[in-house]
Amino acid sequence: MDYRDLPIRDDLRELTPYGAPQIDVPYPLNTNENPYGPPPELVADLARAVTEAATTLNRYPDRDATDLRKDLADYLGHGLTVGNVWAANGSNEILQQILQVFGGPGRSAIGFEPSYSMHRLIALATATEWISGLREGDYTLDAAKAVAAIERHQPDIVFLTSPNNPTGTAMDLDVIRAVVKAADGVGAMVVVDEAYFEFARPGTPSALTLLPEAVPDGKPGRLIVTRTMSKAFAMAGARVGYLAADPAVIDALLLVRLPYHLSALTQAAARTALKHVTALLGTVDAVKAQRDRIVGELTALGLHVVPSDANFVFFGVPGGDQKALWQRVLDHGVLIRDVGIPGMLRVTAGTESETTAFLDALKESLAVLD
């Protein structure tokens, strides 16, 4: 049986589904989750909130998720209010809604690769042409080249990812500012995907600071900053992503969002998690410490390591055979990620003991492959 025998859209025939392996292993360090489960007080509070929400499940939820958006605006600060914020089932759904409104047949989106592969996949799933822009050899983005690519291709949407996945590279505000200006010149929207922002090293500015600047000639600003509760907030299973933008952008997204897309249980869970923001974000420093430990140890081993502002590390494989090393490390019960870039692998920072398991597995695997 082959789904291609079904009358699926022609433009979907060459696609493959997103497929990070979900293998049951002792050390899953492949999808950039937070290794710490929600704290017990939050779990207890979640049970209470979900129980309360359950009593009204015969009714549809608040279609506009107003209370949650207000809480998210308070968390983000930067003078943002409920009208600037939108929420959905994971930032992937946010990205899909953006592409449904601003992309689609006859339109195009550009991203600078390597970057988060779902930008391309969601573009293609919404029949938006995908344009592959390039990063530099050290995975930074050259502002002049990005501007030239935007002017040449005249895309409808520009994707920037900072800190970038899979490389961990954060972007200078000047680069984002230059891209926003160029995008404005061709009438494009700019999406800055900040899924990993909370893990950035001190001094890394958020694109949120550019929102007030990004307003051309009294028209709505075209800058959209996306975030998620899946990483720093340790809530990947709850599926909550959000964005901040000009209120007109949110009005536009209402055109495509499914009615009642965010369940009452999800809204209750997300609002409860936000009440525990201090405890939840308390794990961020521990994760960053393990990330820095990985960077330090791999560098000491003589590996090529990309500086990281995220909760993962992208590194070069001696000899270049990343598939062989990935398998060896997996044989030790540690699942890391081969994103398909030759000679490179990505590992998520775990707890101290998970990180130790990875480092031990890596050292033993390198010795065997030597």
Contact in structure between 244 and 80 (CB atoms under 8 Å): yes
Residue nearer to ligand PMP on the CB measure, 165 or 355: 165
175 residue type, one letter:
V
The span from the CA of 2 to the CA of 14, in Å, is: 13
The span from the CA of 61 to the CA of 97, in Å, is: 19
Strands (E), the chain: 27-28, 85-88, 108-113, 129-134, 157-161, 189-193, 223-228, 241-244, 312-316, 334-335, 344-348
Q: Which residue is nearest to ligand PMP (CB)?
A: 90
Q: Minimum distance from CB of 10 to ligand PMP (Å)?
A: 27
The span from the CA of 71 to the CA of 272, in Å, is: 10
Report DSSP state, residue 262: S
Residue nearer to ligand PMP on the CB measure, 68 or 366: 68
Scan residues 95-134 and list those touching ligand PMP (CB under 6 A). Answer: 116
Phi and psi at residue 14, to the nearest 5°: -90, -5
The answer to whether residue 308 forms part of the interface with ligand PMP (CB under 6 A) is no
Among 266, 274, 264, which Cα is nearest to 240's?
266
Residue nearer to ligand PMP on the CB measure, 126 or 365: 126
Residue nearer to ligand PMP on the CB measure, 94 or 330: 94
Site string for ligand PMP, 223-242 (x = CB under 6 A): -----x-x-----x----x-
Q: Minimum distance from CB of 92 to ligand PMP (Å)?
A: 4
Question: Which residues lie below 8 Å from residue 285, measured CB to CB, with a gap of 6+?
Answer: none
The answer to whether residue 266 forms part of the interface with ligand PMP (CB under 6 A) is no
Count of beta carbons in the 10 Å neighbourhood of residue 154:
14
Q: Minimum distance from CB of 323 to ligand PMP (Å)?
A: 21
Residue nearer to ligand PMP on the CB measure, 92 or 272: 92
Site string for ligand PMP, 44-83 (x = CB under 6 A): ----------------------------------------
Contact in structure between 192 and 207 (CB atoms under 8 Å): yes
The answer to whether residue 161 forms part of the interface with ligand PMP (CB under 6 A) is yes
The answer to whether residue 165 forms part of the interface with ligand PMP (CB under 6 A) is yes
The answer to whether residue 193 forms part of the interface with ligand PMP (CB under 6 A) is yes
Contact in structure between 233 and 38 (CB atoms under 8 Å): no
Q: Minimum distance from CB of 95 to ligand PMP (Å)?
A: 7
Among 30, 34, 84, 91, binds ligand PMP (CB under 6 A): 91
Residues engaged in binding ligand PMP (CB under 6 A): 32, 90-92, 116, 161, 165, 193, 195, 228, 230, 236, 241
